[in-house]
């Protein structure tokens, strides 16, 4: 499952987010070659105070430990919640306060 490092900073009403996910991102073919279990993120959803501000569907063809950057209108003190779903259906959620 993916561990997350999240940084969210507000400047002039826009929140800039950097999110790094620790994940093998190994699809079926790569997993067979390396003799490991296939593991990759399939969906990443970011919510600001319950409203979706970023959503992406991914696959095993992304690089290991992907880094995402995005921005949205918000303010300091808001709660940013990021949820990841992997290929086996497991979800992980982490919350960060916007600075």
User: Tens-of-pLDDT digits for all 99 residues of the chain?
Assistant: 558 899 999 999 999 999 998 877 776 777 777 787 777 888 999 999 999 999 999 877 777 888 999 999 999 999 999 999 988 889 999 999 999
Distance CA 14, CA 97 (A): 14
Phi-psi category of residue 30: left, alpha or beta, with phi > 0 → left and psi -120 to 50 → alpha: alpha
Query: Can you list the domains of the chain with their CATH numbers?
Result: 3-97 (2.60.40.10)
Structure tokens at 88: 């086996």
User: What pLDDT is recorded for position 70?
Assistant: 95
User: What pLDDT is recorded for position 36?
Assistant: 77
User: What pLDDT is recorded for position 2?
Assistant: 58
What is the reported pTM? 0.83
User: What pLDDT is recorded for position 74?
Assistant: 93
Please, which contacts does 36-42 make with residues 24 or more away whose CB atoms are closer than 8 Å?
38/87, 39/86, 39/87, 39/88, 40/86, 40/87, 41/2, 41/66, 41/84, 41/85, 41/86, 41/87, 42/85, 42/86, 42/87
2 CB-contact burial (10 Å; exposed 0-12 / middle 13-18 / buried 19+): buried
């Amino acid at each position: 499952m993916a561990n997350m490092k999240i940084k969210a900073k507000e400047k002039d009403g826009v929140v800039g987010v950097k999110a790094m996910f620790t994940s093998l991102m190994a699809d079926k073919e790569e997993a067979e070659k390396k003799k490991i279990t296939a593991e990759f993120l399939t969906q990443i959803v970011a919510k600001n105070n319950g409203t979706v501000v970023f959503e992406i569907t991914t696959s095993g063809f992304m690089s290991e430990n992907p880094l995402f950057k995005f921005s949205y209108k918000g303010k300091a003190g808001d709660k940013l919640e990021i949820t990841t779903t992997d290929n086996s259906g497991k979800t992980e959620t982490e919350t960060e306060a916007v600075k």
